[in-house]
Each structure stands twice: as C-alpha cells, then as structure tokens.
Structure 1
Amino acid sequence: MEQANQNQDYQAGDIVYVFYRNPHTQDVANIQAAAVVNHPEKENELALFLYETYYPLSDEVAIYSTEEEANQAYHYYYGEATEGVLE
C-alpha cells in the first residue's frame, strides 16, 4: 500500500487524517482527524493541529486526505483491529 502523497498541496483549514500513537500506551495507534493550520511561530509554514499541539507538516507524518484512505491504510498496516477506525 502506498502512503498518502506528502507533496499534496494543503491549505490552512483543511481537515486531514493521521495515525496517532497514545503517548502513554505506545502500542496503540488510532486514526485522528487533524486540522492544517498556519504555523503560529513560523511565517509562511503550515502545521498540523492535533490535541492542542502543533506538529510539523512533513514527510515523516502519514497524512491522508479522507477518512476512508486512512482506514484502508490502518487496516493494511495494523490488521483487523477496530480501535483505529473513527466512529
């Protein structure tokens, strides 16, 4: 399975889907919606806003444009576990 295209043009206000690992339970990954926003400290840069935190918008983050794409990738990488599916 090919990862979402990281060179896609995102704009502030876009909602995307990412894999998020619980910082307290590293073996648990979930799909989480995140907002693409203007970085508050770096002019002309975008960031992901997730759980009240800004994350770099980089090739190191698997970003999916739709929930369906994220769920397909989650199934591919993690199997049948339902905890990654947004409800």
Structure 2
Amino acid sequence: MDRQQPKAGDTVYVIYRNPHTANVAVIKEAEVVQHPEDENDVALFLYETYHELLPDDAVFSSYEEAEQLYNELFNHNQYEG
C-alpha cells in the first residue's frame, strides 16, 4: 500500500514484530487514525497505542497481501524433509 493511500478510518494489516522477542512477528489488523499530535498526518492505532506511520512501513489493504510477504520473510528458511 502506497504511503499516501492510507486515510483515517481505513483498516489495514501490518507485520508487527514483538519488541521484547525479536524472532516473533505476527500479522495484526490496525486502524488508520488521525495523528494525535499532527492534524495533517495519520497514525496506526495498534495494541491500544498510536504508532507513527513511516514511509518504509509494510502496510497492506488485505490480510492475504500481508500473509504473502510474511511467508516470504519468515518461512524462507524452512525446508521440507
């Protein structure tokens, strides 16, 4: 999703890394909201907390899009057998 696309009120999906356990990441639904400190910007509301929406954040409009990248990033080291 292009950084300019998310608008307040949108529901998006993000790959969120647990800040306390570096090897744990999950796909989470988040809401795009008006930034609490900048009326000209938006933020992500996730885990009851506002998160600045940065240009390099991976923000997806569907769970399936997020899941595809998640699998590429986190399941590439798994091999069968």
Q: Pick from 31, 49, 73 the counterpart of residue 69 of structure 2.
A: 73
Q: Could you tell me which residue of structure 2 aligns to residue 18 of structure 1?
A: 14
CA distance in 1, matches of 2:29, 2:15: 9
Q: TM-score, normalised by structure 1?
A: 0.78
> 38, 44, 62: which is aligned to 1:42?
38
2:29 to 20, 27, 33: 33
Partner SS state of residue 64, structure 2: helix
Tell me which moved more, 51-60 or 32-41.
Answer: 51-60
Q: Name the CA distance, whole Å, in 2 between partners of 1:51 and 1:23.
A: 12
Q: How many residues align?
A: 76
Percent sequence identity is 53
Q: Over the residues paired in the alignment, what is the CA RMSD in angstroms?
A: 1.5
- Amino acid paired to 1:13: G
1:44-59 maps to which residues of 2 (within 5 A)? 44-59=40-55
Give the alignment's TM-score, normalised by structure 2: 0.84
Q: Which moved more, 1:31-40 or 1:17-26?
A: 17-26
Q: Which secondary structure does the structure 2 equivalent of 1:70 belong to?
A: helix
Q: Gaps (5+ residues) in structure 1?
A: 81-87
